[in-house]
Structure 1
C-alpha cells in the first residue's frame, strides 16, 4: 500500500504533469523487524463508533503488515471470534482483554492493559 501524500513537499514539489508516463518519485519503504520483547502493545476495550458493540483493541504494533496479519489471525483463532488487523491495530470482536493480554505475554510481547 502506498503512503498517502499530504502536502506539496511530499510530491517532490510537482503539482501537475502533462507527461502521460510520469510517475511521482517514491522512496522505498523498508520493513522494520522489531523483536517481540521490544513491542509495546496496549490492550483496550472500545465501544466508540461501533453501534454499542464492544471490541478488544490492540494498538502500538510496529512491524510489517504481514506480521500484523499473522498476529491478528493468531489472536482471532485463539479467542474463537472475528476481527481485523490493519493500520497497526488489531480489532477482536467482543470483550477478550484478559485472554488477549495473556496470549500476547505468552508470545513474548510486552503488553499492558490500558483504559478503564
Structure 2
C-alpha cells in the first residue's frame, strides 16, 4: 500500500552484474505516479482491542497513495478527535472507538468509508 519500494539508490548506487549488456534503466522500477483522489479511495473503519491490553482503537485501512499523505490524514483525524494514535504499516490507528466521527470526517473529505466489524 503505502510502503516504499527499494530502488538502486537504496543499495548505495552500486550494482553488480555478470551481464555484459547490463543497463541500469532496465532494472529501475517505475513509481506509481497516479495518485488516487479521495472519491476513488475505499477505506475501512475497524474497531479493535486485541493485543492492546484491553484498550480500544479505531483502525483505518485501505489507503492507497504516498505515505506522506497517509501521515497527514492520520494527523488530521487525531487532531479532529482530540486523541492520540499512530500510522503504521499503511494503517491509521486512532485511540478510542470514534468510528462514527472518523467516518463522517472522511466522508466529508470525499472518501468512501465502510464500517467493518462490531
TM-score (norm: length of structure 1)? 0.76
Asked if 1:105 corresponds to 2:117, the answer is no
**Number of residue pairs aligned between Structure 1 and Structure 2:** 101
Q: 1:47 to 1:31 in 2, by over 3 A?
A: farther
**Displacement after TM superposition at 1:112 (Å):** 1.1
Q: Which runs of 4+ in 1 moved over 6 A?
A: none
Asked if 1:76 corresponds to 2:47, the answer is no
Asked if 1:53 corresponds to 2:62, the answer is no
> Residue 94 of structure 2 corresponds to which residue in structure 1?
92
Query: Which consecutive unaligned segments of at least 5 residues does structure 1 have?
Result: 5-20
Q: Deviations over 1:68-90 (max 9, x none)?
A: 01100110000001111132210
Q: Which is bigger in relative contact order (C-alpha 8 A, separation at least 6)? A: 2
| Aligned Cα root-mean-square deviation (Å) | 2.2
Q: 1:26 to 1:98 in 2, by over 3 A?
A: same
**Displacement after TM superposition at 1:26 (Å):** 5.5
